[in-house]
Structure 1
């Protein structure tokens, strides 16, 4: 029988704060607890406590900003399609627009390169399609850039 770490962690303030943040951002909270429950059930607890309990509890950035930073960092890391899609859904739930996501990823092109940017944009396109958010309007071209 697989352990349900959520039952074991009732009363743990870090865990409860993190689980509440996951629910607030619109995730059912089940995915991080069930994905590895039969191999490493504590992974869900670590994510809930540290990432969503501690890091998201810090001041300085709001949830929208945190998600844009997270998407940018996952793009820079590469090979993070599952995590990117997960955080993209949280970003959209937090009020980040598809255009803001695309603009942030395209801006990162100069720093992380074409392959990683292309991969993240491809994952974003899939998530946008699943949520009925396509097409994404192109960003307006700044006057100075248009003038050449």
Structure 2
């Protein structure tokens, strides 16, 4: 059973970022290697691999949750990269982070948008599909 969970988790992580599993394992090896296994098997093998939501939808939910926490900048950065790899556009990511401001507060949304700006620059993508401001209803 654990091997199946590991395989599912590894496959799901590879969809987000092929380097992610190795980075998780390397980062946790000196302190908690079992926690890396938990993340791969449970987080990505059990939860992220469930049917019912597409990977893009899971990334939107994850980014919203991490933005709401306001204390997980490193994880948010990785999930924004993963969201791009899963097929979300910079505009979709930006809009999702702006939406979170209504429920998580403007400071958390602002911090998330600044992280997204950095990730977009690193990825060489533009966060603005249409540089004209949105019209008021």
Per the TM superposition, whether the score is higher than 0.5 is yes
Counting only pairs closer than 5 Å after superposition, residues 29-68 of structure 1 correspond to structure 2 as 29-68=21-60
How many residues end up aligned between the 2 structures?
A: 134
Q: Say which of 7, 23, 46 aligns to 2:14.
A: 23
Q: Which of the two has greater helix per residue?
A: 2
Unpaired segments ≥5 residues, structure 1: 1-10
Q: TM-score, normalised by structure 1?
A: 0.84
Unpaired segments ≥5 residues, structure 2: none
Per chain length, whose mean CA-contact separation is higher, i.e. which structure has more relative contact order (CA < 8 Å, sep 6+)?
Answer: 2
| 1:84-143 Cα shifts (integer Å, max 9, x gaps) | 01111111001000000110111111111111001100100000000111352358636x
CA deviation after TM superposition for structure 1 residue 71, in Å? 0.2
Which consecutive segments of 4 or more residues in structure 1 shift more than 2 A? 24-27, 134-142
Q: Say which of 110, 134, 137 aligns to 1:141.
A: 134
Give, in whole Å, the separation in 2 of the partners of 1:71 and 1:79: 12
Q: TM-score, normalised by structure 2?
A: 0.90
